[in-house]
Amino acid sequence: MSARILHIAANTFREAVRDRVLLNLIAFALLMSGAAILVGQISIGIERLVVVNLGLTAVSLFGVVIAIFIGIGLVSKEIEKRTLYTVLSRPVGRWEFIVGKFFGLAGTLLVNTLFMGVGVFAALLYVSRHFVWADVWILVALYFIVLQFLMITAIALLFSSFSSPLLSAVFAFSLFVIGSFAEDLRGFAAMAHGAGRFLVTGAAYLVPNFSSLNIITSVAHQQPVMGEYIVSNSLYALLYTGMALCGAVLIFETRNLK
Amino acid sequence: MKPSARIRLTGSALLGVCLVTSALALHHLDRIQTRAQFAEVLYFPSPRLVKRLSLGYDGLLADVYWTRAVQYFGTKHVLGTQQYPLLAPLLEITTALDPQLTVAYEFGANFLAPKPPFGAGMPQRAIQLAEYGIRNNPNDWQLYYDLGFIYYLELKDYAKAADAFARGSKLPDAHPFLKVLAAQMAQHAGESQMAKLLWVTTYQSTTDRDIRANAVSHLRALDVDEEVTTLERLVSSYRERTGHWPASFSELEAVGLLRGSPVDPLGMPYKLLPEGRVEVRDPDKFPFIDKGAPPGYVPPPAKFLPSDGGA
Amino acid sequence: MSAIEILGLAKSYTVGFWQKRKKCALRPLHLSVEEGEIFGFLGPNGAGKTTTLKLLMGLVFPSEGSARILGMEINDPRMKAQIGFLPEQPYFYDYLTANELLEYYAQLSGMVARERRSKVSEVLERVGLEGAARTQLRKFSKGMLQRVGIAQAILHDPKVLFLDEPMSGLDPIGRREVRDLMEELKRRGKTVFFSTHILSDAESLCDRVAIIHLGELRGVGAVADLTSNVEGKAEIVWHGSTIPASVKALMSEYHLSGDSVRAIVREANQDAAIDGLRQAGIRIISITPVRTSLEEYFVRKLKPSETAAGVRS
């Protein structure tokens, strides 16, 4: 069982790489190089700040775009190419297929982030000539960004399991935007009354909470991150990802693949 | 020529022509834009709205707004305009997005508070900004310094200035001069020594190029004021001794009142005028002097900040 | 034990957003296929062939009924290990090579590494693609893709093969190769269940066929049995270019060429036509029985307007 999931994951990873997704790293490298060179002339004294802000924001945004664009096609593309039929006619469970696809894309994003992380540190070294201990929090920020990717991938996969690529993209992107406001949504929920309050609270907790995973600004100011915060965020992200994956599996198990 | 080759040739030629002409059109657009009034548009005037729209990527957006604020100030500074209406909102948005961007508060203290054309002339807004900064960064001595700075220089409220400096001096890593400023405020508030201390502190505690250049200009101006006062005093005593105004500084040297030819902070010799007036050779280079400029002198648009693209 | 047993399998969809209508894709189907048979599933486009195959593969859930393959339920992994499926017009993964694709499928079928390598090259040779083993699939022609599809279906040596339009996209040589392959599989004791709308292939290849139209089964049996029910014809060739009036009435079609006439008459009218010609003193060159083809059977069984769209021979 786990071997098949691994094979499906590996195939998904290979497909993404050969589809030249990793070329986005070139765009990223150009961006970071340009920024590193320019930042010294535009914002003296806050070079580190700008490099960390720009670098981590780019890592986050590039990755979200890739997660959504590949994620929405994970299932629909296999149907279009008829490959899904040949896979499922073998002793492969439908749930194994979904989980394998998830790990394939997650793995791709992880590798992507690794390379980008190196790029950010390289740019940082270039502008400030040395590292400080506080830079270790940048690694935590990158870890949180990866957690965000896991959530987005699961969400995109969920939509891909039953709807067309275009709709899936719209839904996934909308959830990403709403998820960035998740804190505000919970605030509104606290102020609402009656049935409205119940609905908004439900929505507020159902929506993916990306705001707490975004610690880019504070890491740019070299502020430390509490261990408890790291643990809670990890737990939340993994649980939410699991929930979305279960949803995807459930939908996919009962779907007629016309 | 085969049809496809002809199309390819035409297509490439057309592409090239469009590229060049569009670049020229854009260049022309730029030129007519700067000549006309600066488009005073802040597309999102509310800091809270901008923060909402940032989708959590506040830090980067704050850096972007900060850069815009600096460029905005520099551009208008060069034009010699009397108004900087967007500076306050730009700084407010910047700090709303990233309350810990200390340099924005410094910029506000140095350039929001002073009167035009050297600043936006909004000391109250600058105070609000500094206090917002203190609320969000209660352990950053620099913000208390900025607050005291505004009270001292623009509002001449020496009591509040002393209070701010005192509070700031208690924080870790505070610049040692803060204690001195606080202590001496009561007695020596208006004196140039205090002002010098202030500007030296500013210079030493910031890495922003514009703020530093501004501080340097002020320090030079203070030096000029002192030197001109001293020189004019010496000239007066020469007159008392000899009964006539000296024709040049070398006469003062001859009687031992001076040693060497006096030069201003930029290395240019001072001018000695009839009736004992001393002036700098090029008053344009000293934006903040009170003394040493010819009577009726009108300073040109300032051009001493790196962001002005000059100096 | 039958290789395939279809017990009343049926599928209908609800269509429409506001007013839900029921659309029947497959009426309850009863069918069984024995082991070692080559079974053809015929019908025009939209008849329900692909729906049936998808129901058997467990890709679509039935509205009623059930089916058994090799005695096991659909979706039973043990059963799936012993079947192979070729879907209609497959594209596969653009960026994999043929080798990598088959490796992947072999992995999913649970074959061990050593076994995989040998099987993959063996099967590629079988379908004539050993030269393109390291080429990426996006460079494959339609015919090559079809062959790779067959390769992945037979890779794990399954007992039953399900092929949806296996000849589509192939040139005559390719078609012949696929036919040879199917016959070879039969010789090795495999069962082949394939759907097509090309009647001539079914005719020469299948032991039995089923004809389906508008979701309903219209006939099952050996080709010979089916076509024997349909009236035969005879072809009469004679000298000259005249056609006696009496003979003309009996003909369904005729053809003039050079100095002879070739006419088709119904078997029942054969004797009367010969008499008519001899009475006119015409010299008959030949009389040949025309075997009724499956196409005739098809055309007779299905209403003419419905067959226009999909039937090709």
DSSP secondary structure, B147-160, as one string: HHHHIIIII--HHH
What residues in C contact A83, CB-CB < 8 Å?
90-93
What φ, ψ does residue C26 adopt, rounded to 5°?
-145, 120
Measure in Å the smallest separation between the Cα of B24 and chain A Cα atoms: 25
**Looking at the partner chain, which of A42, A53, A184 has a beta carbon nearest the beta carbon of B59?**
A53
Domain co-membership, C280 together with C248: yes
Domain contains C80: yes
* Beta carbons of A89 and C85 less than 8 Å apart: yes
Count of residues in chain A: 258
Q: What is the pLDDT of residue A46?
A: 84
Tens digits of residue pLDDT in A140-163? 999 999 999 999 999 999 999 988
Tokens for B102, please give them: 């200390």
Residue C309, pLDDT > 50, answer no
What φ, ψ does residue C264 adopt, rounded to 5°?
-110, 125
Tens digits of residue pLDDT in C230-239? 667 788 888 8
Domain contains C255: yes
Half-sphere exposure of A246 (CA within 13 A, CB side): 6
Q: Does the CB of A41 have a partner CB in chain B at under 8 Å?
A: no
Question: How confident is residue C305, by pLDDT bands cut at 50, 70 and 90?
Answer: very low
Q: Mean pLDDT throughout C222-228?
A: 74
Q: Does the CB of C238 have a partner CB in chain A at under 8 Å?
A: no
Domain co-membership, C208 together with C281: no
* Beta carbons of A90 and C78 less than 8 Å apart: no
Query: Cα(B102)–Cα(A49) distance, rounded to whole angstroms?
Result: 11
Number of domains in chain C: 2
Domain contains C73: yes
DSSP chain C: --SEEEEEEEEEEEE-SSS-EEEEEEEEEEEEE-TT-EEEEE--TTSSHHHHHHHHHTSS--SEEEEEETTEETT-HHHHTTEEEE-SS----TTSBHHHHHHHHHHHTT--HHHHHHHHHHHHHHTT-GGGTTSBGGG--HHHHHHHHHHHHHTT--SEEEEESTTTT--HHHHHHHHHHHHHHHHTT-EEEEEESBHHHHHHH-SEEEEEETTEEEEEEEHHHHHHTSPPEEEEEEESS---HHHHTTEEEEEEETTEEEEEEEGGGHHHHHHHHHHTTPPEEEEEEEPPPHHHHHHHHS-HHHHTTT-B-
* Beta carbons of A257 and C86 less than 8 Å apart: no
Structural domain ending residue among the three candidates C186, C211, C228 = C228
**Looking at the partner chain, which of A42, A49, A216 has a beta carbon nearest the beta carbon of B57?**
A216
Domain contains C169: yes
* Beta carbons of A11 and C104 less than 8 Å apart: yes
Domain contains C305: no
Domain co-membership, C63 together with C162: yes
Residue C144, pLDDT > 60, answer yes
Domain co-membership, C215 together with C267: no
Query: In order of start, what are the domains of chain B with their CATH numbers?
Result: 47-199 (1.25.40.10), 217-299 (no CATH)
* Beta carbons of B63 and A211 less than 8 Å apart: no
Query: Cα(B193)–Cα(B282) distance, rounded to whole angstroms?
Result: 25
Measure in Å the smallest separation between the Cα of A242 and chain B Cα atoms: 24
Q: How many CB atoms lie within 10 A of CB C50?
A: 21
Domain co-membership, C224 together with C277: no
Q: How many CB atoms lie within 10 A of CB A45?
A: 15
CATH value at residue C280: 3.30.70
Instruction: Enumerate residue ranges in chain B where pLDDT < 70.
Output: 1-3, 33-45, 302, 309-311
Query: Cα(A117)–Cα(A149) distance, rounded to whole angstroms?
Result: 15
**Three-class secondary structure of residue B298 per DSSP:** coil
Domain contains C104: yes
Query: Cα(B127)–Cα(B109) distance, rounded to whole angstroms?
Result: 8
Domain co-membership, C54 together with C137: yes
Query: Cα(A29)–Cα(A115) distance, rounded to whole angstroms?
Result: 10
Domain co-membership, C271 together with C137: no
Tell me the percentage of chain A whose pLDDT exceeds 90.
Answer: 55
As to burial, measured by CB atoms within 10 angstroms (0-12 exposed, 13-18 middle, 19+ buried), residue B132 is middle
What residues in A contact B63, CB-CB < 8 Å?
43, 46, 49-50, 53-54
Query: Cα(C90)–Cα(C148) distance, rounded to whole angstroms?
Result: 9
Mean pLDDT score of chain A, rounded to an integer? 90
Domain co-membership, C249 together with C200: no
Structural domain ending residue among the three candidates C207, C228, C249 = C228
Tens digits of residue pLDDT in C242-297? 888 888 888 888 888 888 888 888 878 888 888 888 888 888 888 887 766 677 77
For the question of whether the overall pTM of this predicted structure is more than 0.90, the answer is no
**Three-class secondary structure of residue A5 per DSSP:** helix
Instruction: Report cis status (omega within 30 of 0) of the bond before C77.
Output: no
Q: Which domain holds residue C264?
A: 233-291
Q: Mean pLDDT throughout A42-51?
A: 81
Enumerate chain B positions whose Cβ falls within 8 A of a Cβ in A.
Answer: 52, 55-60, 62-63, 66-67, 70, 98, 100-101, 103, 206-209
Q: Does the CB of A38 have a partner CB in chain B at under 8 Å?
A: no
Measured CA distances, A17 to A12, A208, C95, C108, C242 (Å): 9, 28, 9, 21, 75
Domain co-membership, C198 together with C241: no
Which range has the worst mean pLDDT, A48-57, B298-307, C60-69, C122-131?
B298-307
Q: What is the pLDDT of residue B244?
A: 86
Domain contains C31: yes
Residue A77, pLDDT > 70, answer yes
Structural domain ending residue among the three candidates C195, C228, C261 = C228
Question: How confident is residue C313, by pLDDT bands cut at 50, 70 and 90?
Answer: very low
Domain contains C144: yes
Report the neighbours of B using a cutoff of 3 or more CB pairs below 8 angstroms: A
Q: Does the CB of C50 have a partner CB in chain A at under 8 Å?
A: no
**Looking at the partner chain, which of C87, C100, C156 has a beta carbon nearest the beta carbon of A82?**
C87
Interface of C with A in 155-184 (CB under 8 A): 156, 162
Measure in Å the smallest separation between the Cα of A105 and chain C Cα atoms: 16
Tokens for A9, please give them: 């994951």
